[in-house]
Structure 1
Amino acid sequence: MPDCRAAASPPVPNAADVAVTARPPWLGLAVLLLAGFVTIFDLFVVNVAIPSMQATLDASLAQVGLVVAGYELAFGVLLIAGGRLGDRHGRRRLFVVGMAGFALASALCGLAPDAGVLIAARVLQGLAAALLFPQVYVSIRVHFQGAAARRAFGLLGMTLGLAAIAGQVLGGWLVHADIAGLGWRTIFLINVPIGVLAIAMARLVPESRAPERPTLDWGGVALVGAGLGLLLVPLLEGPAHGWPAWMRIALVAGAVLLAVFARQQVRRRLRGQDPLVDMRLLCDRQFAIGGVLVLLVYSTSSSFFLCFALLVQSGFGLDPLAAGLLFAPCSVGFVLASLSAPRLVARFGPGALAVAAVVYAVSLAWLVGQVYSAGGALSPAHLVPTLVVVGAAQGLIMTPLLNLVLGTVDAARAGMASGVVSTLQQVGAAFGVAIVGMVFGAALSGAVGDDLRARYADAFVAGMACNVAAACVAALLLRLLARSSGQGGGTLPSRA
């Protein structure tokens, strides 16, 4: 299902930065939408190709987890810096640089001779996406106002939803069609001509910069990137290698680097320099709860795709197209629910989100129960009604959740908060893949018997139990945050 993890925009430009144009650049919007499409498409398309990648590259479960999580983590770590680079050097210029990097990294993914090269190329692809995607949001905010802005952001939301669906259905077809014998490689190589087209048409997007050139904290980026990486890799690789000492040391080192990062950010602020993250935000109780909520909810998305793709393809033998078509009704449920979510929240208040979170937790538990009770005799098509409910519940939660969390901070810190939330979305998704993948892999390796279908069903149940637990905790926290906001602790901001 789509997860709208990019729905929280990078830092919002100041009023002085808004360009007044006689006619909004609608042709330029088409170029921006194309870029938004490919970055979200590549978040989802790998899921239907995972078993094929495993087979052709002889990749372990931990390695395919890194193929998924490496993109997400790199995307999240550089996202705030990507927005500031655009403010500093020009959004159109960074758009071109980001798109060129994305196309090049996609080519490297498509030509990767082994899993290690593919993982490295996916990290590069995520870094390029982090340079590219903020320019899409901020360029729309700068060059479209009023009714034109509402229409432009509506088109962007629709495009991102379609990208998520296409990542599963079109991606499944591309892998299944095996064009020129390339198999899963086509899901990456298709980005190359798209990137060339977008670069050629970038001149249709007017150039813009921030009136003040923000400083860049590359030391902070390095610290948080290294810290998160040292936590993520051992979680994915540890079980397969018996948790050697160096992996345990890496986990401790990752935690230490994140603590150093927090201290460094405080020192930058006290010296009058722009921090990457204003740590005072995380001391705000409501925003801190909201941040944990974002981590929990988004941790359940990519990990669900990973587990379900392995279940229906590796376990039950469905081809990539059939697997993608199974995801499609779930995605449609998400899109339709996300369109109605703002009206429901406007009518019933933040409490509607708490109800949706309960429905989400129950639907995930019901899905796990279906797989557990059927085991190897499961017919994947029988899961479609439950998948639709899971997707719809997620659609009712995700975008309103971002509004609710951002509404806990004052307007002066809204830009910083938006960037932090965007990063938390990606980090949560990456660590969800790591933790759930670790449990899934341990259950699969520990399963006994010759029935492959039953073994994968058991592994799916074990991995998804983590997501059910995360969804239950999220429902409790969301009820707490919604109640607090309803009592004046925060307001729901309107979004374009």
Structure 2
Amino acid sequence: MTVALVAGFMTLLDVSIVNVALPSIRADLDLSPGGLQWVLSGYALTFGLLLVPAGRFGDARGRRDVFIAGLAVFTLASAAAGLATSALWLIIARLVQGAAAGVVNPQVSGLVQQLFEPRERGRPFGLLGATIGISTAVGPLLGGLLIQLLGAEQGWRWIFFINVPIGIAAIVLGRLWIPARSPEEQERESLDPAGVTLLGVGVFLVLLPLVQEREWQGPAKWLLLVAGLAVLGGFLAWERRFARRGGTPVIELGLFGMRSYSLGALIGFFYFAGFTTIFFIYTLYLQSGLRYSALAAGVAITPFAIGSAVAAGLGGRVVNRFGRPLVATGLALVAAGLAATVVALHFVPGHNAGWAAALPLLVAGIGSGLVISPNQTLTLSEVPVRRAGSAGAVLQTGQRIGTALGIAMVGAVFFNRLATNGGSWSLAFRTALLVTIAFVVVALAAALADVRAAHRADAAEATKSPHREAARVG
């Protein structure tokens, strides 16, 4: 579990750590705005593209070997990114790095399902949630620290080099500690290549206009989104046909018949659409608007990371006792903390904004810790272990698409507001944060719907029980 969490931390850290290094990379490699966008978004694109196929492959062929292979490619791609001498070199390395991250991550959640009984999964999923929260929030801090210590020219390279020794150690220890498949698990299932292809093309067409929203002007790009949705519709039709013919589909559509899975996936989609955009726009506001250094911007985000880490550990321990109401409570805290951030920055818009937002962001971080890992635990609680990798990958793919959608929408509001209000960074940030809050509120509505449905089911069961008892006695 330690090896899996370290690998998960590295791959998710690389989503956010690059943000604070973009000015240094642009100066050193003379990257265009479009090139910078691909350094940042290309990683997310290929990450989301391979999640489900890799999860399905791990289910069918054994998670340890797939995990180690993905980690090896990720480590090599990190070294290549650190050695980059041109924009094209760095972009290709980031695309490969993202693809490898998409291979590694489904195996992590699949290993939790494989190694722990259902009643024991709260704590490891709590650690996984803490890993997700900390890696996302601490990325700007670690990146800023490396740039501060090593200088702008070498600091951004060590953002990638730092993965190399950790990756090598994780590969060796993963081989030693992660169990191989037992002989009875060696059945070779069909991998449904046609389904994998349709899903990959569909996800690519959906993600591409979202990650390129600011670079591709005009409405024509959204035709790709429409085409992607059409391809995904074809994928669903193919999966039903393939299953009827006795094959094992890439995604078992019956999973979405489980309320815990379908509503949990919906919560994850909308929460990640809001959650990850916080760091994107806050880093821009602090560095470009208030002229914070990379390190100071990272420190300003630290309260969220601390709150998330502490609460995620607690949430993992108590999730089985409180269930989905715990997730709803966390979402309410996130919304309240972000709303308080908007108010704080209205009254303190200047250079002290980082201090003014510290306490509200701590509250939002505590809420986030009660959302990510408990929601993942509850969403995967009824999933069979043999489908743990692909089910977790579908959940993560929704989160990646949600992230891309959130950054596209919140970023559009942020830059449009900045352009139309005389360059007021504070007003642009606060307006964009309202869109982020809206995503969190939608996730909260889904959580409350699950809570109400559970209460109705419990009430119906309680009504039936006396009749059953009376019938038994009679």
Structure-1-length-normalised TM-score: 0.79
Q: Tell whether 2:227 aligns with 1:258.
A: no
Q: Specify the SS of the correspondent of 1:178.
A: helix
Question: For residues 22-49 of structure 1, what are the alpha-carbon distances to aligned partners after superposition, in whole Å with 9 as ceiling and x for unaligned?
Answer: xxxxxxx554444233223223322332
- Counting only pairs closer than 5 Å after superposition, residues 483-494 of structure 1 correspond to structure 2 as 483-488=452-457
> What is the match of residue 452 of structure 1?
none
Q: Is the 8 A contact 1:235 1:438 kept in 2?
A: no
Q: Residue 334 of structure 2 aligns to a residue in which SS?
A: helix
Question: 8 Å contact 1:51–1:310 — kept in the other structure?
Answer: no
**1:129 matched to 2:101:** yes
Q: Secondary structure at the match of 1:215?
A: coil
Tell me what 1:423 maps to.
397
Q: Do structure 1's residue 212 and structure 2's residue 187 form an aligned pair?
A: yes
CA contact (8 A) 2:304 2:363 kept: yes
Q: How does 1:85-100 map to 2 (within 5 A)?
A: 85-100=57-72
Q: 3-state DSSP class of the match of 2:251?
A: coil
> What's the counterpart of residue 12 of structure 1?
none
More displaced stretch, 158-167 vs 455-464: 158-167
Residue matched to 1:21: none
Amino acid at match of 1:170: L
TM-aligned CA deviation for residue 394 of structure 1? 1.0
Counterpart CA distance in 2 for 1:303 and 1:257 is: 27
CA distance, structure 1, for counterparts of residue 65 and residue 387 of structure 2: 27
**Whole-angstrom CA distance in 1 between matches of 2:430 and 2:11:** 30
Partner of residue 384 from structure 1, selected from 358, 362, 378: 358
Correspondence for 2:196: 221
Query: Which residue in 1 is equivalent to 2:17?
Result: 45
What's the counterpart of residue 482 of structure 1? Answer: 451
Shift of 1:398: 1.9
**Deviation of residue 463 (structure 1)?**
2.4
CA contact 2:61–2:186 (8 Å) conserved in 1: no
Shift of 1:432: 1.9
User: Residues 125 and 374 of structure 2 are in contact (CA less than 8 Å); yes or no, is this contact kept in structure 1?
Assistant: no
> How far did 1:157 drift?
6.1
Residue 272 of structure 1 and its aligned partner are, at CA, apart by 1.6
State which drifts further: 70-79 or 464-473. 70-79
Q: CA deviation at 1:431?
A: 2.4
- Secondary structure of 2:189's partner? coil
2:53 corresponds to which residue? 81
Q: Would you say the 8 A contact 2:80–2:93 is kept in 1?
A: yes
**Number of residue pairs the alignment of both structures matches:** 456
Whichever residue aligns with residue 457 of structure 2, its letter is G
2:60 touches 2:188 (CA, 8 Å); kept in 1? yes
> Residue 246 of structure 2: SS of its match in structure 1?
coil
User: Does the C-alpha gap of structure 1 residues 151 and 413 become closer, same or farther in structure 2, counting only changes over 3 Å?
Assistant: closer
Alpha-carbon distance change, 120 to 397 in structure 1, aligned in 2, over 3 angstroms: same
Q: 1:54 to 1:482 in 2, by over 3 A?
A: farther
Partner SS for 2:180: coil
Stretches of structure 2 that go unaligned for 5 or more consecutive residues are 460-474
TM-aligned CA deviation for residue 392 of structure 1: 0.6
Q: Is the 8 A contact 2:106 2:392 kept in 1?
A: no
Q: Deviations over 1:92-147 (max 9, x none)?
A: 43233212210122123323455555444323212112222344454566567899
Distance in 2 between residues matched to 1:291 and 1:478, nearest whole Å: 11
Equivalent residues in 2 for 1:187-206, closer than 5 Å: 187-205=159-177
Paired residue type of 1:398: I
- Aligned partner of residue 340 in structure 2, secondary structure: helix
In structure 1, the residue matched to 2:327 is 353
Structure 1 stretch displaced more, 407-416 or 208-217: 407-416
CA distance in structure 1 between the partners assigned to 2:282 and 2:26 by the alignment: 15
Q: Distance in 2 between matches of 1:281 and 1:392?
A: 30
Q: Which amino acid aligns with 1:467?
A: T
Distance 1:280 1:223, change over 3 A: same
Change in Cα spacing, 1:288 to 1:64, as seen in structure 2 (3 Å) is farther
Please name the residue that 1:464 is paired with. 433
Contact 2:29 2:87 in 1 (8 A): yes
Q: For 1:72-471, what aligned pairs fall within 5 Å after superposition? A: 72-113=44-85, 117-139=89-111, 163-164=135-136, 166-178=138-150, 181-205=153-177, 208-209=180-181, 210-243=185-218, 245=220, 247-282=221-256, 287-342=261-316, 345-346=319-320, 348-376=322-350, 379-407=353-381, 417-448=391-422, 455-471=424-440
Q: Secondary structure at the match of 2:18?
A: helix
Between the aligned partners of 2:265 and 2:127, the Cα distance in structure 1 is 27
Most deviating of 461-470 and 199-208? 199-208
* Residue 310 of structure 1: how far off its partner (Å): 0.6
One-letter code of the match for 1:229?
F
Measured after TM superposition, the shift of residue 306 of structure 1 is 0.7
- Kept in 2: contact 1:102–1:125 (CA 8 A): yes
Q: What is the CA–CA distance in structure 2 between the aligned matches of 1:107 and 1:446, rounded to whole Å?
A: 42
Over residues 332-389 of structure 1, what are the superposed CA-to-partner deviations in whole Å (9 max), with x where a residue is unaligned? 1111112222455555553343233222212212212333444456532221011101
Gaps of 5+ in 1: 1-28, 450-454, 491-496
Cα 1:302–1:163 shift into 2, 3 Å: closer
Contact 1:315 1:456 in 2 (8 A): yes
Q: Is the 2:113–2:385 Cα contact (8 Å) retained in structure 1? A: no
The CA distance in 2 between the partners of 1:299 and 1:230, in whole Å, is: 18
Q: 2:17 aligns to what SS in structure 1?
A: helix
TM-score calculated relative to the size of structure 2: 0.83
CA drift at 1:391: 0.5
CA distance in 1, matches of 2:126, 2:331: 24
* Alignment-mate amino acid for residue 457 of structure 1: S
Q: Please say if residues 108 and 121 of structure 1, whose CA atoms lie closer than 8 Å, have aligned partners that are also in contact.
A: yes
Alignment RMSD: 3.5
Contact kept? 2:127, 2:316, Cα under 8 Å: no
| 8 Å contact kept, 1:337–1:393 | yes
3-state SS in 1 of match to 2:292: coil
